Structure 1
C-alpha cells in the first residue's frame, strides 16, 4: 500500500506542477514531454500496484477460507468420532503409559535471534519510504521560489576565462553572466554549433534578444564579441548593482535554464547607463544600446559592455526565465 501512495504522490505532484503552470521553474519547457511521460508511467504503475494488491488480497482471502473450511472439517470429524477415539486411546494408553509423551518441544530450541534479520530490513524500507516521500511533500506543499538578485548576491558570479569553458567544470554547476552550452558537446561538435549560431546573428543590423533568442544570442555575443562591436542590441532583464560596480554601470540579467534547474544560471551583461540613472536590484528594464568592451578589474579581463542609448522601466514578465532553444 505504501508503494501505491508513493507512486500516486509523484504522479499527483507532477500533475499539480503542470496544472499550476510551475514547470518552467524546474526545467527547460522544451523538455515538458518528459514530465508528461513520467505522469503516464507513474499512473500505469499505480494501476499495476492496485492490481497486485487486489490479487494478494484475493489470495489471502482464499487461504483464509480454505483454513476455515479445513478447521470446520476437523471439528466435524472430531465430533463424529469422539466416542470411538476416546475409548481406543484410553485402552491404548493403559498398555503404554509412557507412549503418549510427544516431542512437541523438539523444535522449541530455536535461536532467540532467529528473527533479528527482519529488523534491519524493516528499517531500510522505512528510511527508503521517507526519502521518497520528502520530495513529494516539498513539491506539493512548499511554494516554488522565483530566483532574483538575492541568489546572485548569495552565490556571487564569475566569468569563464577565454582559455577555458564550462566543459572543464561540473555540468551541474550554476553558470553566471555567459551562457555556455559547450559542456554538452564534444570540442568539435561545439565548434560546429558555435559557427552555425554565429551565422544566425551575424547579418542582423539590430539584435533584439527576446525570450526565444536571449540565451543563444548572449552565448554568440560572448563567443564572438569582435563581430558585434558597435552593433545595436536590445534586451530585457533585471538590474543588479553588486558590490564591484561603480558609477552608472549595472548588470542586467535574466535567469536561464539550459536543461533544468541544476544547470541554470544568471545571464546578461554589464550595462553603462546614462549619468544619474538610479536603479534598485530587481528593477526590470528594457535597454537598447551599442556593444562596446571594457576591462573589468574583478574578472581581470575585457568583457562586452552595452552602452545605453535608450532604456525604460518595465514590469516583471509573467515568466521571468529564459531557456536554451536549440
Structure 2
C-alpha cells in the first residue's frame, strides 16, 4: 500500500507542476512531453500496484478458506474418543518437542528478529526519502530566480581554450551559453558554424525569447564577426561588486536542457553616463558591440556600448530556453 501512495504522490506532483504552469522552472519547455510521459507511466504503475495488492488479498483469502475447510473436516471428538485421545497425546508430544527446540534456538530467533527490525527501519527511511520530494514539490512554492542567485553563486567566464573534457554539463553556466559539452570537438565545430549562418548577414541582431541563447552563444563564439554591429536584447540589470562606473551586466536566466545545466546568460553593458539602475531592473538595451579587457576574468570579452535603453516590465516568463 505504501508503494502505491508513493507512486500516486509522484504522479500528482508532476501533474501539479505541469498544469499550474511551473514546469518552465525545472526543465526546458521543449521537453514538456517528458513530464506528461512520466505522469502516464506513474499512473500505469499505480494500476499495476493495485492489481498486485488485489491478487495478494485474494490469495490470502483463499488460504484462509482452505484452512477453515480443513478444520471443518477434522473428526468429532465425541464420535471417536480413542482417536481423539491419540491426537491429543501426539499434540502434547509435538508441543513439548517444539517448546524444547524453541528454547534451544532462542539466540537464533533473536537474531532473526533483530534482522527483521533492521530491514524494516531501512525500508522506512527509504520511504521517507521518497516522500520528501513529493511534499516539497506539492506544498512549497517555487521561486523565480533573480540577482540573488548570481550574488550567492558568483559567476565566471571560462577560457575559450578550456578543454571539452574539463567541462561538466551538470554545472550551472554563467554569462556565455555553452552547448559544446553535448558534442564532440568536431561535432561542435560543425554545429556552431551552422548556427553562425543564421546571424552572419544581419546588420542588426535582435535577441528575443526564441533565439536568445542561440544568438548569445554565436556572439561569444564569433565576437570579431559582429564588432560594430547593432545588438538589442532584454534582461535584468546586475551591478555586482566587480563592475565600476556605468557598466552593468544584463542577464537572463536560461535552460539548455534542464535545471542541472541552467545558468545566467548575458553581456557586460556600457550605459550612458549617469545611468542609475537597481539589481533586477528589467531593461531593453540597444547598442554597438565592442570589446574590453575585463580584469576580473583576465581576458577580453564582448561589451555592448548602449545607444539607447528603456526600463521594461518583468516578462511573464523571465526564462529563456535553448531551441536546438
Q: Structure 2 length normalisation: TM-score?
A: 0.93
Gapped regions of structure 1 (runs ≥ 5): 94-98
CA 221–167 in structure 1, closer or farther in 2 if over 3 Å, else same: farther
Give the secondary-structure state (helix, strand or coil) at the position aligned to 2:76.
helix
RMSD, matched Cα:
2.0
Matches within 5 A, 1:1-326: 1-74=1-74, 77-85=75-83, 103-108=97-102, 109-114=104-109, 115=112, 116-164=114-162, 167-326=165-324
Instruction: Indicate conservation of the 8 Å contact 1:270/1:305, yes or no.
Output: yes
Distance 2:73 2:224 in 1: 96
Which whole-Å deviations, capped at 9, do the CAs of 1:250-283 have from their partners, x for residues lacking one? 1000001111101110000001111111110000
Deviation at 1:112, TM superposition (A): 2.8
Deviation at 1:209, TM superposition (A): 0.5
Give the secondary-structure state (helix, strand or coil) at the position aligned to 2:97.
coil
Deviation at 1:227, TM superposition (A): 0.2
CA 186–208 in structure 1, closer or farther in 2 if over 3 Å, else same: same
Give the secondary-structure state (helix, strand or coil) at the position aligned to 1:130.
helix
Distance 1:7 1:112 in 2: 39
Give the secondary-structure state (helix, strand or coil) at the position aligned to 2:159.
coil
Give the secondary-structure state (helix, strand or coil) at the position aligned to 1:317.
coil
Aligned residues: 316
Instruction: Indicate conservation of the 8 Å contact 1:167/1:182, yes or no.
Output: no
Deviation at 1:35, TM superposition (A): 1.3
Q: Structure 1 length normalisation: TM-score?
A: 0.92
Which residue number corresponds to residue 96 of structure 1?
Answer: none
Deviation at 1:82, TM superposition (A): 4.5
